[in-house]
């Protein structure tokens, strides 16, 4: 009997005909077999689906690489990921975007450390639109705070047991922004056993045409909705609520940096009104807002 794959990689694709082959090549180059790959076309209007099919045909000789191509006509990366999750049959699942590159050997390294874990995470390298290389904050000893401030459980920065992610509800298909940030909190609230690898597993290439894009103002209101939603999960967690208070203030400051003063004033007032911290702490939030609005970075280090 042929050995069953231990992990499935799910890749949603929307209009990435010129980038998706690079991504799929990096997944196929992983030194683990058998390997399952599910590609979900999210109603692309370019030739992405045709490109994926041609790529899959070129890999037909690899009998230990199981490739399935699905279609999800309803828009949204989270919806496409959830469609892929519903077809996963392996113990582990990893979600990967169609414009980035998976580091060599990351899946075999993760599986070697997975015996007593529900989740295995790793660092990620970021390449900006200007070509600058950086590594995103990575603090496994304070994973909740690192995730809420820095998105440590970014989509491509971990693999998770399929049963575990399903137990928290999987991807919220109604979310169009910060879907991995929201899911990451739900995963952490379920107290996963996790292992953090001391290596990078993903190279993330910033794209102007992406879910987040380059402007928060373009999707004003959607970001706030996610913060409100996450706050509703933790009515009895003042530590998490305080961190979300900061995220509102930070977003308000980013709005003003983009010249969107009405949105900034609205959200900043909401943030101060909703914050349950003492008056002195609210004053400090005002200072952090002014610092970030003026171009300062990393103000979260001065909060909680």
Rounded CA separation 137/292 (Å): 18
Better-predicted residue by pLDDT, 276 or 162 = 162
Average pLDDT, the chain: 95
Mean pLDDT throughout 277-288?
A: 94
Mean pLDDT throughout 29-33?
A: 97
Mean pLDDT throughout 241-256?
A: 97
Rounded CA separation 292/298 (Å): 8
pLDDT at 212: 47
pLDDT at 13: 98
Instruction: Delimit the domains of the chain by residue range.
Output: 7-205, 217-302
Q: Are 69 and 57 in contact (CB under 8 A)?
A: no
Identify the weakest region by mean pLDDT among 76-90, 124-138, 215-229: 124-138
Rounded CA separation 29/37 (Å): 12
Structure confidence by residue, pLDDT tens digits, 35-92 = 999 999 999 999 999 999 999 999 999 999 999 999 999 999 999 999 999 999 999 9
Percent of the chain with pLDDT over 70: 97
pTM of the model: 0.95
Q: Is the peptide bond before 34 cis (omega within 30 degrees of 0)?
A: yes
Percent of the chain with pLDDT over 90: 93
pLDDT at 304: 82
Q: Quick one: angle between helices 20-28 and 48-58, nearest 10?
A: 30
Query: Residue 1 pLDDT more than 80?
Result: no
From the list 121, 200, 186, the residue with the least C-alpha distance to 153 is 121
Mean pLDDT throughout 287-301?
A: 96
pLDDT at 2: 64
CATH topology of domain 7-205: Spore Coat Polysaccharide Biosynthesis Protein SpsA; Chain A (3.90.550)
Structure confidence by residue, pLDDT tens digits, 98-116 = 999 999 999 999 999 999 9
Rounded CA separation 280/303 (Å): 12
Confidence of residue 95 (pLDDT cuts 50, 70, 90): very high
Structure confidence by residue, pLDDT tens digits, 168-219 = 999 999 999 999 999 999 999 999 999 999 999 999 998 876 544 568 999 9
Q: 101-102 and 194-205: which strand pairing?
A: antiparallel
Number of H-type helices and E-type strands within the chain: 11, 9
Mean pLDDT throughout 145-164?
A: 98
């Amino acid at each position: 009997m042929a050995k069953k794959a231990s992990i499935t990689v799910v890749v949603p694709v929307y209009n990435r005909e010129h980038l998706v082959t690079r991504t799929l090549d990096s997944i196929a180059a992983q030194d683990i077999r058998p390997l399952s790959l599910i590609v979900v076309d999210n109603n692309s209007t370019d030739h992405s689906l045709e490109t994926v099919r041609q790529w899959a045909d070129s890999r037909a000789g690899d009998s230990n690489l199981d490739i399935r191509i699905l279609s999800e006509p309803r828009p949204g990366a989270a919806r496409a990921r959830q469609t892929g999750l519903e077809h996963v049959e392996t113990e582990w699942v990893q979600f990967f975007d169609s414009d980035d590159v998976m580091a060599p050997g990351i899946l075999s390294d993760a599986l070697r450390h997975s015996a007593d874990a529900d989740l295995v995470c790793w660092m990620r390298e970021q390449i900006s639109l200007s070509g600058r290389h950086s590594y995103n904050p990575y603090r496994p000893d304070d994973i909740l705070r690192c995730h809420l401030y820095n998105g440590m459980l970014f989509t491509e920065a971990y693999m998770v047991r399929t049963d575990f992610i399903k137990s928290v509800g999987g991807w919220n298909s109604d979310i169009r922004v910060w879907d991995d940030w929201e899911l990451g909190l739900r995963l952490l609230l379920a107290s996963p056993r996790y292992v953090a690898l001391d290596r990078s597993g993903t190279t993330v290439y910033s794209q102007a045409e992406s879910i987040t894009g380059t402007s928060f103002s373009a999707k004003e209101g959607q970001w706030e909705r996610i913060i409100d939603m996450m706050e509703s999960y933790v009515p009895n967690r003042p530590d998490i609520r305080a961190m979300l208070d900061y995220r509102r203030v930070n977003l308000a400051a980013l709005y003003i940096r983009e010249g969107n003063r009405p949105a900034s004033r609205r959200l900043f007032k909401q943030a101060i009104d909703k914050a349950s911290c003492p008056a002195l702490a609210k004053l400090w939030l005002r200072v952090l807002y002014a610092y970030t609005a003026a171009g300062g970075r990393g103000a979260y280090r001065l909060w909680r």
